[in-house]
Amino acid sequence: MTGFMFSEAANVTERRQQPPALAISTVIFALRPSASSGRPVLWLPLVRRIREPFRDHWALPGGPLTQAESLQDAAARNLQETTGLVPKYLEQLYAFGGLHRSPGQRVVSIAYWALVQPTEAALAEESINVKWFRADKLQQLAFDHNEIVNYALWRLRNKMTYGTIAYHLLGEKFTLAQVREVYEAVLDRALDPANFRRQLTADRQIEATGEYLQGGKHRPPRLYRYTGALAADKYDNFDDDDLDGKAAAVP
Partner DNA sequence: CCAAAAGTGTTACCTATACACCCATGA
Partner DNA sequence: TCATGGGTGTATAGGTAACACTTTTGG
Binding status of residue 143 toward a second copy by CB under 8 A = yes
Q: CB 195 → DNA: shortest distance, Å?
A: 4
Q: What are the residues binding DNA (CB under 7 A)?
A: 175-177, 192-195, 197-199, 201, 214, 216-222
71 binds, among DNA, a second copy, none (CB under 5 to 8 A by kind): a second copy
Q: Which is nearer to DNA, 70 or 175 (CB)?
A: 175
Q: CB 149 → a second copy: shortest distance, Å?
A: 12
Q: Which is nearer to DNA, 34 or 129 (CB)?
A: 34
Q: CB 138 → a second copy: shortest distance, Å?
A: 14
Among 133, 147, 191, 201, binds a second copy (CB under 8 A): 147
Binding status of residue 127 toward a second copy by CB under 8 A = no
User: What secondary structure does DSSP assign to the chain, as a single string?
Assistant: -TTHHHHHHHHHHHHHHSPPEEEEEEEEEEEEE-TTT--EEEEEEEEE--SSSSTT-EE-SEEEPPTTS-HHHHHHHHHHHHHS---SEEEEEEEE--TTSSSSS-EEEEEEEEE----HHHHH---SSEEEEETTS--PPSTTHHHHHHHHHHHHHHHHHHS--GGGGS-SEE-HHHHHHHHHHHHTS---HHHHHHHHHH-TTEEEEEEE--SSSSSPPEEEEE-S--S--TTTTTTTS----------
What backbone phi and psi angles, to 5 degrees, belong to 16? -75, -25
Task: Answer whether 108's CB lies under 8 Å from 23's CB.
Answer: yes
Binding residues for a second copy restricted to 164-183, rule: CB under 8 A: 168
Q: Which is nearer to DNA, 121 or 202 (CB)?
A: 202
Binding status of residue 119 toward a second copy by CB under 8 A = no
Q: Which is nearer to a second copy, 217 or 246 (CB)?
A: 246
Q: Which is nearer to a second copy, 209 or 237 (CB)?
A: 237
Among 151, 160, 173, 201, binds a second copy (CB under 8 A): 151
Binding status of residue 99 toward a second copy by CB under 8 A = yes
